[in-house]
Amino acid sequence: MAQINKLCLGCMCEKTTDGPCEQCGYREDTPYLPSYLAPGTVLNDRYVTGKLLSYNGEGATYIAYDKATDTKVTIKEYMPDTLCNRKKGDPSIIVEQNQMPLYKTYLQEFIELNKALMKSRTLTHIQTVLDIFPENNTAYVVFEYVVGISLKTYLSNCSGELTWDRVKELFPPILTTLGLVHNAGIIHRGISPQTILVTEKNELKLIDFQISAGRTNNTEIACEMYNGFAAPEQYSSAEWQGAWTDVYGIAAVLYRALTGCAPVEAVSRMGNDTCPEPMAINRNIPSHVSKVLMNGLKLNTEARIQSINELVTKLFEQPKFNTAETDAIKPAPVPVKRVEPSYERLETEPKKAKKKDGVSTTAIVITIIICVAVVTAFSIAIGIFASSDFGTNSSDPNYYSVPETEDTTSVVIQTLPPMTDETSSGVNSVAPDDTTYVVPNFVGRIFTSVQENQNYSFLKITATYKFDDKVAAGLVIKQNIDPDTEVKNGKEIELIVSKGPASVELPEFEGMTVEQYTGILSQKNIKFNTVPQPDDKHEPNMVIKCSKKVGEKINVEKSEKVTVYYAVKDNSSSKPAQSETESE
């Protein structure tokens, strides 16, 4: 048992001397961002938090120490900084009053997502969820501490790229796991070399799942996407997302691993697709693999490969193996419910068939077919497993309650169907029948959740945005068809959606970088200029001051602009150019 007062809060190793940590060099007097937990904060009377590892629009991740098990862990804190804030030294989160409904709804989605991951703790190729508990007016998720490096770093250490034979050894287990995650109704939306770890056992592990709003542009919280790996539908909150979104992400990762460079960013490809085929960059990539990856990277969601099962089947099945016997047992290219098979067979069998010049393709094909057969046979088990419930450590049964609306299905994590030919240019696909349906009451619900709910596919949903001082941004204010009205399939309905208040208070900037602060301004619809200013008292890129006082009202409806000044070194030879960014 480590002595808590001797723990290094930078790496959670026990220190033997005073001063900087011998392992990582962390000092106890290291400054920290005031918006996040102070190192040394104890959560749930059990976990000692250390330094901040990362943060995004959904929240923050810390290294931590579990006193009960005497192990390192990581802890993710739900803290969407566009909806709430924290005073330095006080662990409790303060939610902006007009953002409370959104805060609670996203909190519920955060909890449900991680409860679903907790139920999938037997999957060895995703980071395991160990605990979920409420505290400080928010929720925390405890994860296993994974010793390893990011795939991005791993690729850099491998001269930038991998051979196809190495990819065939490394990726099948994580592809199988990703298919199982999709069957549980969970979409990652952020698959990239930064969110895949390579462990000490030389295995891949997927980390950093987020709620949908955190990985979709134009939502109420700051969006985190990885250029070249985010699917085109993630750049618009009006587009369908589903398993095919992660197909794009993992195809982009394989593209990067095999070629040494990321695909062209999705938004840059629209209108003039200049993304080269992998084999045009690296002639050693098999032709069929190159073509399959390009099919996984198609901009049109309907033309793209739809499931991980389909992607795996096409990747590891070369034309010469397309015999009548193989076709007879080959799985159909549609999603199937399945449980995770033993990875021992998947990981060792190809090695037994290994030739001097690489892995046997026949062994890979047989392995994939066996895996699909096993998971199909146990599809009922995964349904039962996913339906089981997990308690939390909360003493208040109503802690995780969502805003009071007539229907809370909008926060349920689900896999959505692909778009069809009848899909409108804006949003929901339309069922092909003439049945009469009853219009629900959408007022008070989050518009993006309404869009994602396949129960409303009988409607063509459009939106008009307007400022409203009483309704939080993103919530539906009114609808042009009254609730309980009977309509035919395909009826168009317009929802008025709040853009938030016309005037908002300028948020605190202390301890923030210019990127972090302007991200918050953008989410609050505050337009701004950024101006570099020589300053040796602040770290480079930190915000120094604003043209308006913190707490002063900014009229966003009239596009009132704020100037943000950030520090650069006095001796900087290349002074950054003044930039201007506007919220949409």
Per-residue pLDDT tens digits for 130-148: 999 999 999 999 999 999 9
Contacts 24+ apart (CB under 8 A), 269-278: 269/232, 269/299, 270/232, 270/299, 273/299
According to DSSP, the residues that pair with 135 across neighbouring strands are 138
Residue % of the chain over a pLDDT of 70 = 77
Percentage of the chain surpassing pLDDT 90?
52
Least confident of 305-314, 395-404, 478-487: 395-404
Angle at which helices 308-315 and 287-296 cross, to 10°: 160
Predicted local distance difference test score (pLDDT) of residue 276: 93
How far apart are the C-alpha atoms of 544 and 565, rounded to whole Å?
6
Is the confidence at residue 406, as pLDDT, over 70? no
* C-alpha dihedral (389, 394, 395, 401), degrees to nearest 10: -80
Q: Where in the chain is the domain with CATH 3.30.200.20?
A: 4-144
pLDDT of residue 280: 93
Q: What pLDDT does residue 5 have? A: 82
Residue 106 has a pLDDT of 94
- Which fold does the domain 503-581 belong to in CATH? Trypsin Inhibitor V; Chain A (3.30.10)
Give the model confidence (pLDDT) of 117-132 as tens digits: 999 888 989 999 999 9
Sign of the torsion angle spanned by Cα atoms 578, 521, 229, 269: negative
pTM, two decimal places: 0.62
For residue 45, give both structure tokens.
């009377």
What's 328-341 look like in SS3?
A: HHCCCCCCCCCCCC
Query: Is pLDDT of 436 > 60?
Result: yes
- 405 vs 301: which has the higher pLDDT: 301
pLDDT confidence bin for 457, thresholds 50/70/90 = confident
- What's the pLDDT band for 571 if we cut at 50, 70, 90? low
pLDDT of residue 112: 94
Determine whether domain 149-316 maps to CATH 1.10.510.10.
yes
What is the spatial distance between Cα 43 and Cα 86, in angstroms, rounded to a whole number?
16
CATH 3.30.10.20 maps onto the chain at: 420-498, 503-581
Residue type, 395: S
Cβ atoms of 87 and 80 closer than 8 Å:
no
* Cβ atoms 256, 249 nearer than 8 A: no
Residue (of 289, 43, 83, 39) closest to 166 by Cα position: 289
What's residue 433's pLDDT?
Answer: 55
Q: Taking 50 as the threshold, does the pLDDT of residue 358 lie above it?
A: no
Task: Say how many CA atoms lie within 13 Å of 541 toward its Cβ.
Answer: 4
In CATH terms, 4-144 corresponds, of 3.40.50.720, 2.40.160.40, 3.30.200.20, 3.30.60.50, to 3.30.200.20
Average pLDDT over residues 497-514: 86
Instruction: Give yes or no for residue 424 having a pLDDT over 50.
Output: no
What CA–CA distance (Å, rounded) separates 407 from 455?
12
- Amino acid at residue number 426: G
pLDDT at res. 63? 97
pLDDT, one tens digit per residue, over 231-268 is 999 998 778 899 999 999 999 999 999 999 999 999 88
What pLDDT was estimated at residue 378? 42
Q: pLDDT tens across 69-86, in order?
A: 999 999 999 999 999 999
Q: What is the pLDDT of residue 471?
A: 78
Q: Which residues of 57-68 are buried (b: 16+ CB within 10 A; e: fewer)?
A: bbbbbbbbbbbe
Q: Are 372 and 363 in contact (CB under 8 A)?
A: no
Whether pLDDT at 485 is above 50? yes
Secondary structure class of 59 (helix, strand, coil):
strand
Kindly report, residue by residue over 152-174, the tens digit of the pLDDT: 999 999 888 999 999 999 999 99
Per the CB < 8 A criterion, the answer to whether 202 and 378 are in contact is: no
Say what the pLDDT of residue 516 is.
81
Please state whether beta strands 527-534 and 561-568 pair in parallel, antiparallel, or not at all (unpaired): parallel
Q: Worst-scoring range by mean pLDDT, 19-33, 59-73, 414-428, 432-446?
A: 414-428
pLDDT in tens, 183-231: 989 999 999 999 999 998 999 999 999 999 999 988 889 999 999 999 9
Burial label, 5 (beta-carbon count in 10 A; 0-12, 13-18, 19+) = exposed
Stretch(es) of the chain classified as CATH 1.10.510.10: 149-316
For position 356, what pLDDT does the model report? 36
The DSSP secondary structure of 395-434, one letter per residue, reads S-TTTTPPP--S--GGG---PPPPP-TT--SSS----SS-
| pLDDT score, position 386 | 38
Which class in CATH covers the domain with range 420-498? Answer: alpha beta
Residue in 460, 389, 404 with CA at minimum distance from that of residue 428: 460
Per-residue DSSP letter, 513: B
Q: Tokens in use for 469?
A: 């001082």
CA 138 to chain centre: 19
Q: Which residue has the tokens 């040494």?
A: 260
User: What's the Cα-to-Cα distance from 248 to each of 242, 383, 420, rounded to whole Å?
Assistant: 10, 26, 18
Q: How large is the average pLDDT for residues 44-71? A: 95
Q: What whole-number distance in Å separates Cα of residue 564 and Cα of residue 306?
A: 44
Q: Read off the pLDDT of residues 335-357 as tens digits, 9 standing for 90 and up.
A: 333 333 332 332 323 333 333 34
- Say if residue 404's pLDDT is above 50: no
Asked whether the CA dihedral 433, 478, 406, 109 is positive or negative, the reply is positive
Strand spans (E) along 190-294: 196-199, 204-206
Q: What is the pLDDT of residue 364?
A: 52
pLDDT at 517: 85
Q: Are 10 and 30 in contact (CB under 8 A)?
A: yes
